């Protein structure tokens, strides 16, 4: 998977990273609150092997992520480990932790 330079580029090209076969039976929404320069708020919905993105925070998300925009770019490019980011409080996750972990199967970081 190609590297991205910004959060906007990530969400504009998220379909390239999505692995629908790994999202069978998933019905969840993920809100990304990305702070600082280049940040914003996006909602990603995954339902029955389909993914949609919208700007802003959707109602009743399954999982909410809060992280600096620059750290998020590092995370999706594979330069920052998600577990390490969580343990060092760079990444805050609320909602369903099991679903947050499962997300790596259908939206993996670049390797």
pLDDT in tens, the chain (111 residues): 789 999 999 999 999 999 999 999 999 999 999 999 999 999 999 998 999 999 999 899 999 999 999 999 999 999 999 889 999 999 999 999 999 999 989 998 886
Question: Cβ distance 19 to 50 under 8 Å?
Answer: no
Judge contact between 108 and 19, C-beta under 8 A.
yes
* pLDDT confidence of residue 98: 95
pTM here is 0.94
Dist CA 23 CA 55 (whole Å): 22
Domains of the chain: 7-105 (3.30.1050.10)
H or E segment to which residue 93 belongs: strand 92-95
Angle at CA 28, nearest 5°, toward 81 and 76? 25
């Amino acid at each position: 998977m190609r590297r991205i330079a910004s959060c906007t580029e990530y969400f504009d090209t998220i379909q390239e990273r999505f692995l629908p076969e790994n999202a069978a039976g998933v019905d969840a929404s993920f809100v990304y609150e990305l702070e600082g320069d280049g940040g914003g708020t996006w909602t990603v919905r995954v339902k029955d092997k389909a993914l949609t993105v919208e700007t802003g925070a959707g109602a009743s998300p399954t999982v909410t992520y809060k992280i600096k925009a620059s750290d998020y770019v590092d995370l999706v490019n594979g330069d920052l480990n998600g577990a390490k980011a969580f343990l060092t409080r760079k990444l805050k996750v609320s909602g369903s932790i099991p679903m947050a972990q499962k997300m790596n199967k259908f939206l993996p970081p670049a390797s």
